[in-house]
Amino acid sequence: MIRKTTRLALAATATFAASLGPTALAQASVKCQPHGAHTITQNGQVRVYGKNGNAYACYKGSGKTTLLQNASPSSDKFAVGGKWVGWSSSDPTDSSVLPHSIVTVMRTSDRFVNSHWYPGELNETIDKIVVLSDGAAAWAITPEPGSDGFTIVQGTDRAGHPADQFSDDHTDLVGSSLHLISGKTIGWKYTDGTKGTQALF
Task: Say if CB 56 and CB 33 are below 8 A apart.
Answer: no
Provide mean pLDDT across the span 4-16.
35
Q: How far is CA 171 from CA 107, 138, 150, 168, in A?
A: 34, 19, 7, 8
Mean pLDDT of 64-91: 98
pLDDT the model gives residue 160? 82
pLDDT of residue 21: 54
More confident residue, 87 or 25: 87
How much is the pTM? 0.84
Which of 6-10, 64-68, 80-84, 138-142 comes out lowest in average pLDDT? 6-10
Strands (E), the chain: 6-7, 38-42, 46-51, 54-59, 64-67, 78-81, 84-89, 102-107, 120-121, 125-131, 137-142, 152-155, 164-165, 173-182, 185-190, 195-199
The answer, yes or no, to whether residue 8 has pLDDT greater than 60, is: no
Strand partners, 84: 81, 107
What is the C-alpha to C-alpha distance for residues 138 and 153, in angstroms, rounded to an integer?
Answer: 7
pLDDT on residue 24? 54
Residue 57 pLDDT more than 60?
Answer: yes
What percent of the chain stands above pLDDT 70?
86
**Per-residue confidence (pLDDT) for residue 27, from 0 to 100:** 56
Q: Can you tell me whether residue 69 is helix, strand or coil?
A: coil
Residue pLDDT, tens place only, 112-132: 999 999 999 999 999 999 999
